[in-house]
Each structure stands twice: as C-alpha cells, then as structure tokens.
Amino acid sequence: MSRKPYVRPVSKTGWWLKHPRYMRYMSREVTCVFIGAFALLLVCTLERLAKGPEAYASFIAAIQGPMSVMGMLLVLIFALHNATSWFNVTPKALPVQIGEEFLAGKYIIGAHYAVWAIASLVVLFFAGVI
Amino acid sequence: MTQLKKRMVQLEVLRYDPEKDTEPRFQKYEVECNEEWVVLDALNAVKESLDPTLAYRWSCHMAVCGSCGMMVNGEPKLSCHAFLRDYEGVIRVEPLANFPIERDLVTVADDFIDKLKRVKPYLIPKEKKTIAEGEYKQTPAQLMKYRQFSMCINCMLCYAACPEYALQPKFIGPAAIALAHRYNLDSRDGGRDERQEVIATDVGVWECSFVGACSEVCPKAVDPAGALQQVKVASTLDWFKERLLPGGSK
C-alpha cells in the first residue's frame, strides 16, 4: 500500500476571516497602522515646531478641522483597543509567582492600568491641562 | 434503571482514500446515539454498524492520550471530549487542520514528532548524579513553576488552531515550545542553552505573533501562548545581558 498524504490548501490572505478569534487578533494588529500614522503626524509636528512659532501655529490650525478631529478620534479608539488588548494578556507573558501560588492576573493587568493612568496624568500636567 | 435518552445524529465526515481519491470528499452518516455520548462514540457507532472502512485514531476515551484530535464543526477538539449534547443539526467532522491527511480522519503527525525531538523535551540534568548519590530534589514551589506546562498531552489541537503554523510550516509551534519551556523552568535541568538554539529563532518563538488561539483550544489548559511569550521575554533579557553585562558577550 503506497502513501499519498493530501495537503489541504491554506488561504494566504483570507485565513483570518475563518474564525472570530482570528478576526479579534487582526483587529488588534491593524491598530498599528493608525498608531503609526499618528506617530508620523507627531514627527511632522516636531518638524514644523523646529521651523519656528509661526510655522507651528499654522500647522496646528490646519489640523483642527472636523475631518482631522474625526481622524484623531479614530486613532484614539484604535490606540485604546491596542493598549487594553495588550494589557489584558500581560499575565501570560509576565506571571508572578509568590511561593507556591501565582498572583491573580487581575493584579498584573490592574498594575498596567494604574501606571497608564499615572503616566497620562503626568503628561496632562506638563501639557498644562490640569 | 433510568433509560438513556437516544437521538439520531447526522455526521458529515471528511473521507480520503489515498488509493482511490485525488482529493477529500464529505460523506454523510445518520446514526442512533445516546444523548450522553461524545463525537468519538458516534464515530464508533458508524464504524460498527454502518461503515467499517472509516479510519480515525483514538485510544483512551478520557482526554488523556491525545490521539483523537479532530476538527468538529471547524473547531479543534478531542473527539472524546466533544459532547453530542453541545451540538445541534449536522456535525461536521474533519481531520485536524494544518496536517496532511493520511486517510479519512487520520493525519500525518511526522512534522510534529520531529519538532518535538528537536526541542529535547526531557530532563538534561544540571549535574549528573549516580543512583547512590540519591534523587534530584525539588520544592513544591519549584514544581509549580513549570507544572502547568507539563500537562501537555501532545494532542496537536494547538497546531490545528495556529494560523502561523498554517502559513509557515517551519514554525516549531506551540506544544513543542511549551514543552521546551517546561524543562527550561525545571530547577533540576541544565539544558536551556541547547533548547534556545532551536526555540529562540525565527522559526521558534519569533515566528509567533501571539494570536493566542493555541491556548483557547488547549483541552488541558496548558496555555502554550503564555509559554511562548515567556520564552520571548527570557530570550530578550538574554540578548541584553550578552551585550550590556561585563563578560556577557559570546
């Protein structure tokens, strides 16, 4: 009897549509596009700032239109999704063992949220918002 | 004695005969089952009463041996652990995804076995002892460090769920790396450097993009995704230690 194993084809582009868990994964991965775009915007802002106060002021005025604000809101939503989805899996990557027990994941996740909140407050403080 | 509730169950099973077929095809069966049965029982009923040619692997019938992994309605499952009461309508049964089909529901597991060998999933003692010198001792806390990862039964469901493995078959994959990690975490073991050469590579943990599907389908709650991320963290620390600590470079 001869062997003739059959290899099932795999879709290189449509595999992630096959299961909700793959779509969830892709929703996390796609956030990098929006965060990358915002990082580019920050680089452009710095470049304008280096050119002087007038160049900076005109650039800031140019990105305050409704479309820009909508775009930034979209980036914020994706950034929140990125941060929360990564925070929620940190106990897997960074387990904390105390004696014979492991620290419950909620404390590790909670610590990340706490650091996030403190970092946000510090940024808002230096930005003069609070 | 209470009469067990029975119902007719419809199965749609992927069949492949390498001597006759050029590609797999679905075959429908309808068989009387007890409501308490699992998918494996339904397949056994088909084989006993309808079609003795149906081929599939199984052994323990108690989610321990890891032989009866199949796709049940598109989800990697141990068929001895997939209860009929949880399914309505036609139940579609296919061989484990991402592995070549040998015949019907039997897959070719050679690739996984080869990868398992490569990661040296056994104790490589830090210091060799003679029997006269006594056993290698371990505290309960040291045991707990790796215990979860030692629960793997090599059922390969994690490979069937992993899209990275589907797209890049060279990937060492979830179970093999989780087992390597299990021995790396063992206080009695001294083989980490040998395993790192296999798992801390671009076909090892760095091929994993943390989809997490492996842990979702694991029937023994091993959490291979966790193991892979921990190997990434440890390998990154190695990289920094090699470059930043005095005498750290190889």
Q: How far is A30 from chain B (nearest CA, A)?
A: 13
Decide: B175 and B161 in contact? Cβ < 8 Å.
Answer: no
Q: How far apart are CA B109 and CA B130, in angstroms?
A: 36
Percent of chain B with pLDDT over 70: 98
Local structure of residue B125 (DSSP, 8 states): B
* A23 contacts on B by Cβ (under 8 Å): none
The values of phi and psi at residue B34, to 5°, are: -75, 145
A15-89, which class in CATH?
A: mainly alpha
Output Rg (C-alpha) for chain A, integer angstroms: 22
**Is B100 in Cβ contact with A6 (below 8 Å)?**
yes
Tokens of B115: 């990868």
For the question of whether the overall pTM of this predicted structure is more than 0.80, the answer is yes
Q: Where in chain B is the domain with CATH 3.10.20.30?
A: 6-107
Q: How far is A22 from chain B (nearest CA, A)?
A: 7
The correct answer on CATH 3.40.50.300 for the domain covering B6-107 is: no
User: What is the pLDDT of chain A when averaged over all its residues?
Assistant: 94
Residue B112 pLDDT: 98
Measured between its terminal Cα atoms, the distance across chain B in Å is 72
Q: How far is A71 from chain B (nearest CA, A)?
A: 27
Residue B206 has pLDDT above 90, yes or no: yes
Name the pairing type of β-strands B91-95 and B6-15: parallel
Q: Where in chain B is the domain with CATH 1.10.1060.10?
A: 110-244
Would you kindly state where each structural domain of chain A is located, as residue ranges? Answer: 15-89, 102-130
B110-244, CATH topology level: Fumarate Reductase Iron-sulfur Protein; Chain B, domain 2 (1.10.1060)
Given pLDDT bands bounded at 50, 70 and 90, which one contains residue A4? very high
**Is B141 in Cβ contact with A100 (below 8 Å)?**
yes
pLDDT digits (tens, 9 = 90+) for B138-147: 999 999 999 9
Helix (H) / strand (E) containing A111: helix A105-126
Residue B246 pLDDT: 83
Q: How far apart are CA B109 and CA B117, in angstroms?
A: 13
pLDDT digits (tens, 9 = 90+) for A60-93: 999 999 999 999 999 999 999 999 999 999 999 9
pLDDT digits (tens, 9 = 90+) for B7-23: 999 999 999 999 999 99
Which residues of A touch chain B, with CB atoms under 8 Å apart? Answer: 1-8, 10, 12, 15-16, 18-19, 21-22, 25, 29, 89, 91-95, 97, 99-102
Decide: B228 and B177 in contact? Cβ < 8 Å.
Answer: yes
* B74 contacts on A by Cβ (under 8 Å): 18-19
Q: How far is B217 from chain A (nearest CA, A)?
A: 11
* A100 contacts on B by Cβ (under 8 Å): 140-141, 144
Mean pLDDT, residues A16-41 taken together: 95
Residue B250 has pLDDT above 60, yes or no: no
Residue B249 has pLDDT above 70, yes or no: no
Given pLDDT bands bounded at 50, 70 and 90, which one contains residue A2? confident
Nearest Cβ partner for A5 among B98, B101, B212: B101
